[in-house]
Amino acid sequence: MTASKRRIRMAILPISSACLALACFTHAAEPTADQALRLRPIQADVDFDIPSAEEMKLCTVRSSSEPRQAGWYVYSPSGQLLRRFLDTNGDKRLDMWCYYKGGIEVYRDIDSDFNGKADQYRWLGTAGTRWGLDDNENGVIDRWKMISAEEVTAEVVAALRDRDRARFIRLLPSTRELDALGLGDEHREALNEKIASARAGFDSLANRQQTITADSRWLHFGASLPGVLPAGTLGSKRDIVVYDNVSAIVDTGGSHSQIFIGTLVQVDGGWRVIDLPGSVDDSGSVDVASGFFFHQTASRQPTAVAAAGGISETMQRLIRDLEEIDKTIEGTSSPAELARLNEQRAGVLQGLADQASNQDERETWQRQYADTVSAATQSGSFPKGLQLLQNLLQKLKQDSAGSEMIAYVQYRLLSARYAHSLQQPEADFAKIQDQWQSDLLQFVKTYPKSEDAAEAMLQLAVGEEFAGKTDEAIQWYGRIVDDFSQAPQAKKAAGAKRRLQSVGQTIPLAGNTLDGKNLSLANYRGRTVLIHYWATWCEPCKQDLTTLQQMRTKYAKQGFELIGVNLDSDRDAAMRFLQSQRLPWPQLYEPGGLDSRFATEMGILTLPTMILVDAENRVINRSIHAAELDDELSRRLR
C-alpha cells in the first residue's frame, strides 16, 4: 500500500443538523434565526425553503414547551413555518430537525436513540415516502424502512448516474426480507441467483453505460397494475405482491430515455428491485428486463443468462463462492488460514476473468484480482501474492493486453513489493526507499499517461520532500498539476507546492470552526500566528498541545495567537477530545480528514504540521516543530 493510502481513514459524519443543533441550541439559550437557518439536512437531495439574505434578517424564532413538541420554531417574514427543532422526550436536548417547503414539512432528521446523532431520515408531505435508517450513525443510509415503487426507480437512476454501488445495493432484498417473503424453493433459488448477479454486475454496468449521465434526472414511473402471486404457488407460504416489467423515464438535457427496471417485489414497508436495469448498456447485451414471477416458465432455460450483463450460471456459482470466502475472511485472524483463503479467493477471481463474455468484463475482474491480491500482500497475510501478480502481468504481456491494463497491474505489483520488503525482519529502510523511488521513476517513464502515473508522481514528490530535496519535490508536484489537472492528486499536489513555496507569501485560511463560527486568518493581522494542523488519532499532535499551551501563556501579551486546524474524519471524535481538553484557541474544521479542503489547500501530508505566520499574514516558517517555538518566538517577539 502506498504511503498516501496508508492514512487512517474513518467514517465521515457530515456537518449536519444533528451535530450543529446540539452544539448551538439549549433550552436556556434561544437561537437566532440566522443560527437556526444555517442548519442543513444530513441527506443532500432535499428540496426545502431557504430564505434570501434579506429575508433571513426578518425571520423569527419562537419557543414551545408543549409535551413532545418542546423546542424552536422558525418562521418567514410572512409567518410561514420554515423549520422545527424539537425535543420529543423531555431530556432538554434536540432529537428531531424538521424542514419545510411552502409551509409543508418535507423532511426530518431523527435521533431515535437520543444520543445526539441522527439515525433516521424521513421524506414527508410532497417529497415522498422514503424513510431511511442509518445503523452506524455516519450520515449514510444503510437500509430503507419505507420506500415506494416510484422512489425505488428514482434511486436506481441516481445510483447509475453517480456510479454509487452502495446506493443500488440498498434497493436489493436482504436475506431477512427474502426469508419473510416465504418463497418456495424454486423461486428462492432463482431470486438468489439474480440478486447475486445484480450485486456483482453493477459496477461494470454503471461504468460502461452512457445512457444516464451526470445531467440525467428521473421523470416518471411506468408499469401496469401490480399483481399477486397467491400463497401456495410453487411452494410459496404467503401472497407475494409484485410489479413486473417496471420502467422509468429519464430526462437528459431535454432528451428522454426509457430505462427498464424489471421486477419489483413488495417487502414490509417498501419495494425492492431484484435485477440490474436494462436498456442502459451500450454494448447491446441488454434490451428489456423481462418479468420474473409471472413469466418465469417462459424465460428460464437450462443455460440461460440470469441477469443483465451476460452473467452465466457458472459465473453465478463463482460469485457465490466469492461471497462465501469474503464472509469467512472477515472472521479469520490466523495468518495461515488467511493465506489459504486469499489464495482461494484469487483462484475464484481468475475463474471469473476466464469466464467473462467480453474484454471489458474480463478486465473488470482482472483489476479486482490485482487490487485484492495486492492489498492482501501489503497487509502481510499473503506473501504468495507477489508471484501471483507477477504471473498475471506476464500473462497480460503475452496476450498483448492494452498498456493501460498492464500499467494497472504493474503499479499494484510495485506497491505490494514495497510493502512486503518493509515487513521483513532485517529490512534496510534506506535501501528499500531508494529502490521504491527508482521503481516509481521507471514506472512514470514507461507509462506516463496511465491512470496511476499521477499517484506514482505524488509518491516521488513526497519522497523527495521528506529527503529534504525541496526543488525536486516542487518539480514533481508541478508536473502532476500540469499533466493530470483533473486527477484527484492534482489539488493535493498544488497545495503541497504552495506550501513549499509559501515562505514570504500569504496563504488561504478561512472557514468554519468546530463550534460553527466563521474564522479567517486575515482577521489576525498585527499578530504572530501559529497554524497547527492536527488530529486526535495523531499521538505526537496531542503531545505537542502542552507545549503550545505554554507558548500561548508565555507570549500572548506580545501578540502571539494559535489557530488549530483539526483533520479528524470523525467530527464527534474531535468534539469529545476538546470537551475534555478545553483548548482556548479556535479549531477550524471541515469533513474529509486528510482529504478535506483545509488539508488539500496546503498539501498537508503528515501530522502534526505547523506553519508560523507574521503580523502581515506572511509565512515565516512552513514546517516549524514544537521544540523550536520558544527560541523562534523569543527572537521575533522580544
pTM of the model: 0.56
- Taking every pair of Cα atoms in the chain, the longest distance, rounded to a whole number of angstroms, is 90
Under 8 Å between Cβ of 607 and 567: yes
Domain regions of the chain by residue span: 17-138, 148-311, 510-637
**H-helix or E-strand containing 611?**
strand 609-613
CA 37 to chain centre: 26
pLDDT at 148: 92
Q: Which amino acid is at 638?
A: R
CA distance readout (Å), 369 to 59, 351, 412, 425 = 57, 10, 10, 28
pLDDT at 226: 82
Under 8 Å between Cβ of 135 and 143: yes
pLDDT, tens digit, 9 for 90 and up, residues 78-108: 999 999 999 888 888 899 999 999 889 999 9
Whether CATH 3.40.50.620 fits 510-637: no
CA distance readout (Å), 35 to 17, 116, 161, 260 = 11, 18, 34, 45
| Integer Cα distance of 241 and 249 in angstroms | 23
pLDDT, tens digit, 9 for 90 and up, residues 177-221: 888 888 888 778 888 888 888 888 898 888 888 889 988 888 878
At CA 346, angle to CA 345 and CA 350, rounded to 5? 120
Higher-pLDDT residue of 13 and 108 is 108
pLDDT at 68: 63
State yes or no: pLDDT of 32 exceeds 70: yes
pLDDT, tens digit, 9 for 90 and up, residues 543-556: 999 999 999 999 99
pLDDT, tens digit, 9 for 90 and up, residues 242-272: 888 888 888 887 777 778 898 999 987 689 9
Question: What single string gives the DSSP state of each residue in 377-429?
Answer: HHTTS-TTHHHHHHHHHHHHHHTT--HHHHHHHHHHHHHHHHHHHHTSTT--H
Alpha helices of 138-184 — where are they, by DSSP H?
Answer: 149-162, 165-169, 175-181
Mean pLDDT of the chain: 85
Picking from 94, 103, 137, the residue whose alpha carbon sits closest to that of residue 118 is 137
Banded model confidence at residue 370, pLDDT cuts 50, 70, 90: very high
Q: Which amino acid is at 599?
A: A
